[in-house]
Amino acid sequence: MELTRRTTLLGSLALIGSSAVHKPALAAAASYFSGTAVDNGVTYKATNFANIDRKWHRQVVKYFSSEPIGTVVVDTRHHFLYLIMENKTAIRYGVGVGRDGFKWYGRATIDQKALWPKWTPPPEMRKRHPDLPESVEGGSPKNPLGPRAMYLLRDGVDTGYRFHGTLEPGSIGKDASSGCIRMFNEDAIDLYQRCPIGTAVQVLPHIADQAPAQVSDATPVE
């Protein structure tokens, strides 16, 4: 086919338009990171919390619950994870949860923990995404588990779900995962330090009646 000046011009405009669509998305993703941090000998991209809505920041809030101190409770509808503390308070973390078709609810325990865990996609995920690798080593910048994983078991049986870090800080506060609970990498590190093996976990669809949503009364957690 003969290329005319008009065809060439239209092709160039299409490329420019495509580039214009992708650049803002890439810029937005990059804006969620700022510099690097080192953890257990691994250098990773630090979250730019200045560009994260404050309601997703880790903070202490008032929390009323009949669950024992030390229990982790997840409000999937509002994308918050609560670690129950003393004096009717909890540390609240913003999280990403399972998208439609991948949500789950119930009780479990943290029966295994890992620093910079290796990621092995489950067989059903590889069926949906045949291009996925068989595994990704811990500490790899392509490992979606990030710096920590806390494995959730029920009656000694692995549920297949985890609390873990993320490569996508922008997914916190959204229904985005295949059922696992995503956290900012810094928050995954923090929760890992606070939760011993055997920590009780309850995942619920909605607990806003137990914990106020306002941020004004919250205290940041360092």
* Catalytic residue chosen out of the listed positions 22, 78, 129, 180: 180
129 assigned to active site: no
Q: Structure tokens of 76?
A: 């999937």
The 3-state DSSP class for residue 6 equals: helix
Residue 140 CB-half CA count within 13 A: 13
Query: Quick one: how many helices (H) and strands (E) in the chain?
Result: 3, 13
Q: Of the listed 129, 164, 195, 206, which one is catalytic?
A: 164
Interatomic CA distance for residues 43 and 55, integer angstroms: 27
Known catalytic membership, residue 180? yes
Task: Determine the Cα–Cα distance for residues 59 and 110; give it in Å rounded to an integer.
Answer: 22
Catalytic sites, residue numbers: 164, 180
